[in-house]
Structure 1
Amino acid sequence: MSTLLEELQWRGFVAQHTDLDALAAALEEGPVTFYTGFDPSAASLHHGHLVALMLMKHLQNAGHKPLALVGGATGLIGDPRMSGERTLNPTEVVADWADKLKVQISRFLSFEGENAATMVNNYDWTKDMSAITLMRDLGKHFRMGTMLAKESVAARLRSDEGLSFTEFSYQILQANDYAELYRRYGCTLQAGGNDQWGNIIGGVDFVRKSEGATVHALTTPLITKADGTKFGKSEGGAIWLDSEMFSPYDFFQFWINVDDIEVPKLLKIFTLLPREDIERIIAESEANPRARLGQRTLAREVTTLVHGEQAAKEVEAASEALFGGGDLAAVDAKTLADATAQLPCAELTVGETTVVDVLVASGLEKGRNAARRTVASGGAYLNNAKVEDEDAAIGQDDLLPGGRVLVRRGRRNLAVAVAAD
């Protein structure tokens, strides 16, 4: 088996596949053109899509040529879900989402050089397809038994809601994508998530029947936690890659807070670090888990990939500064606002409000007497500096970027106070 496939297996990217020896031979013989599809079902990709993006990056780094397909057509239809019929979004909304996904995907791939990536949209070859073409030229190659046996289709047919012909036809359109990319670009490998195996195999079969060619398929596993549950989701929902939908600070916090037991697997999948570095970090983390080296490395690497090196540095600095490990004044206003967005909040009047006032107003203390005792015992902090005088008012010089201050009780209890306009 090729060194590349061995590396992908070690990292945890390989779930189901067609003939693995044949794929290994193809990867060794020369550059393989491959594709992965992303449907614009929302305005942003989420952390689950990162698995496919990382696989694409590994394949391109090894010399193979990626086609990044944004499903402007299939996004209008919707892949059948177990939970029920999808809402059909307006054409202009799907087109806008497709453009946003292109921008996100482009950050992970190189569009220069001999194996430059190409961005494609299946709307280009689907929009003018007639019903006759769909039924006669495509439909004749698909067998109802195979289509009905798909897990998502079978489950929906057993449900009270049933399944519309619209969603049932999705698998034909996706299979046609593979054939089109084979004809246009010589694409011979489709990679995607394991939940897409049925659709991907449908494409492999369609290329064989319509073009007489043998092509390959490879799926990545669903990333689960040690207890078998799905990995991901924050209190606010999905871990979006769009910084406006999920801030870089919250993104960083998501990764830095993963359980110790998950770190080895996540480092292999979600970072580009060499194997020797990953193995060293895992060993050091197991020897000294309190240092959280694995989590800190994971959060830094993934945030850099998604949001850029500068954003990663800023949110890491903010994360450390919030708990006394750095200079709060050096954190920019946007990052500080994101970092403190979920903290208890109080309003302050410059020159009048004291730390005692903030402790009570934010709920960190239940009353003024308790707040004064906290100050007297050395347990109250303003912008990470210990408060000595309970009657000292918060002044203009105390304000951090964005007109706010950070108040802390003890080591971990935080609140933010924002200056009134």
Structure 2
Amino acid sequence: MSVLSILRERGFIEATTHAQELEDYLENNRATCYIGFDPTASSLHVGSLVCIMALAHMQREGHRPIGLVGGGTGLIGDPSGKTELRKVLTQDQIDENKAGIREQLSRFIDFSEEKALMLDNAAWLTNLGYISFLRDIGRHFSINKMIKAESVKSRMESDDGLTFIEFNYMLLQAYDFMELAKTHDCLLQMGGSDQWGNIVAGIDLVRRTLGKQAFGITFPLITTASGIKMGKTHKGAVWLDPERFSPYEYYQFWVNTDDMDVARFLALFTFLPMKEIEVVKKLEGVDLNKAKTILAYEATKIAHGEGEARKSLKAAASMFGSIEVPSDLLSSASIPRGMLSFGGDESLPTSTFNKGDAVDKMFVVDLFCDAGLCKSKSDARRLIKQGGAYINGERLDSFDQIVTDADVKDDEILLRAGKKKYHKIILK
């Protein structure tokens, strides 16, 4: 099965250019492909996983992926899919963000021995001469075509409009494609559906300047069964950086997958065989929950390593009781099998407080806020009113309750918000 067929079967592909020619190219060549990552934060998040996993599949099928960090274009900002002007970052901020992105991509893709490349478009974009760029590159672009691109059109129709700086982004991304085609024989660009116009512009520029046929693949915007954009939670983005979003929280994010999304997310976010995933589509109730456990384990293993996946599984079992993982369910997964029951909860999100600052002084609503279980005091009060706030398993019923010695067990306090969100407080 070709890599294009694998990506299509697993739900990655929304559109391609030159479908048959692309199929032939991937079947008969060790192709080099790339996806750009905008360095607007020091961590990627779950919303970037489709792109990252697509690059990983390309590598697993013998092709060479390029992760292109937009150190140059990041100084401008991509208007694609945005409704307002993006904040301009400093060079120091971009350099810090690039370092974090490099580290995270390395968990999914093998960069050793040039099996994959990590490049930064600042290497060529920041040295461009404006007059020569207009003369050699700008002349290939039609304003009439550019304003028809959805990414440009949506910004022009917004209240803030589209700045001239952002309008240049399409030219710069097309230049990236041309540069990679020229220096690394990279003839395939992939990206989200909002990148279609930019990708097509790059294909056209490669043809006009280098006389080469280039290709494009776009991925659909992934939403949950409830219509929410993938990766959004009550705490904000689901970051891949374990310092921003712990491996246990990451594990719990996947465990809480909607029933209707389990098989689809197994296909997109794990490497388990589709033949095994097809069986999951027929499961219901308790059996489907077991599949969620495997999804959570595999996704955590890929992003944070087998050790963190096992610790998260152990912590979940200690919190929620024994977990059964049948040997015949998604049998290619490396999760421990059988009836699993562990003690200990070392993977739980944890904070350390000074005991003298907390006991007999701190309101429980503040404790829930400081632990990140609630966004604000009003959010904490609402949780308590709805009966969803617990300390050491005991439901809270008062907004004005202060932390006391009775709430402390072995210098620890276990907080719970709702059914599945825990946080451990260590008092010193």
Alignment of 1:195-344 (within 5 A): 195-283=194-282, 285-286=283-284, 288-289=285-286, 292-325=289-322, 326-329=341-344, 331-332=345-346, 335-337=348-350, 341=371
User: What secondary structure, in the 3-state scheme, does the structure 2 residue paired with 1:107 have?
Assistant: helix
Q: Tell me, in whole angstroms, the C-alpha distance in 2 between the residues paired with 1:108 and 1:420.
A: 37
Deviation, structure 1 residue 53: 0.8
Give the AA of the match of 2:67.
A
Q: Is the 8 A contact 1:281 1:293 kept in 2?
A: no
Deviation string, structure 1 residues 141-193 (Cα, Å, up to 9, x no partner): 11101111111211222233221111111111100000000010111111111
Amino acid in the other structure paired with 2:149? K
1:102-146: per-residue Cα shift (whole Å, max 9, x none)? 111111111235x70011110001111111122111111111011
Task: Name structure 2 gaps, 5 residues minimum.
Answer: 323-340, 352-367, 375-388, 399-404
Matching residue of 2:63 = 64
Amino acid in the other structure paired with 1:108: F
Flag the 1:328–1:416 CA change in 2: closer, same or farther, 3 A: farther
Which of structure 1's runs of 4+ aligned residues deviate more than 6 A?
358-363, 392-395, 413-417
Distance (Å, rounded) in 1 between the aligned partners of 2:224 and 2:390: 38
Secondary structure of 2:395's partner? Answer: coil
1:378 — aligned with what? none
Q: What is the rounded CA distance, in whole Å, between the counterparts of 1:408 and 1:75 in structure 2?
A: 40
Residue in 2 aligned with 1:171? 170
| CA RMSD in angstroms, aligned pairs only | 2.9
Distance change >3 Å, CA 27–CA 366, structure 1 → 2: closer
Q: Which runs of 5+ in 1 are unaligned?
A: 345-357, 368-391
One-letter amino acid matched to 1:230: K
SS, match of residue 292 in structure 1:
helix
Note the C-alpha offset of 1:361: 9.8
CA deviations 1:247-302 (Å, max 9, x no partner) are 1111111111011001111110000011222223444x33x445502211111111
Aligned to 2:412: 404
Q: 1:414 to 1:212 in 2, by over 3 A?
A: closer
Equivalenced residue count is 371
Match of 1:187 in 2: 186
- 1:145 alignment partner, SS class: helix
- Cα distance in 1 for partners of 2:392, 2:224 equals 39
Relative to structure 1, the CA distance from residue 359 to residue 65 in structure 2 (aligned partners, 3 Å threshold; closer, same or farther) is: closer
With over 3 angstroms needed to count, the CA separation of the structure-2 counterparts of 1:335 and 1:158, relative to structure 1, is: same
TM-score normalised to structure 1 length: 0.81
- Name the % identity: 38
Paired amino acid for 1:306? A
User: 1:318 touches 1:336 (CA, 8 Å); kept in 2?
Assistant: no
Q: State the distance in 1 between where 2:115 and 2:293 align.
A: 32
Q: CA deviation at 1:227?
A: 4.7
Give, in whole Å, the separation in 2 of the partners of 1:208 and 1:52.
25
Shift of 1:225: 2.6
Shift of residue 415, structure 1, vs aligned partner: 7.7
CA 269–416 in structure 1, closer or farther in 2 if over 3 Å, else same = closer
| 1:348 paired residue number | none
CA deviations 1:214-265 (Å, max 9, x no partner) are: 1110111111233544233011111111111111111111111011001111
Q: How far apart are residue 408 of structure 1 and its match?
A: 8.8
- Is 1:111 aligned with 2:111? yes
Contact 1:65 1:116 in 2 (8 A): yes
Tell me which amino acid in the other structure corresponds to 2:239: W
Distance 1:209 1:42 in 2: 34
Instruction: Name the CA distance, whole Å, in 2 between partners of 1:193 and 1:16.
Output: 10
In structure 2, the partner of 1:375 is none
Does the Cα contact within 8 Å between 2:350 and 2:423 map onto a contact in 1? no
- Which residue of 1 is the match for residue 6 of structure 2? 7
Residue in 1 that maps onto 2:21: 22
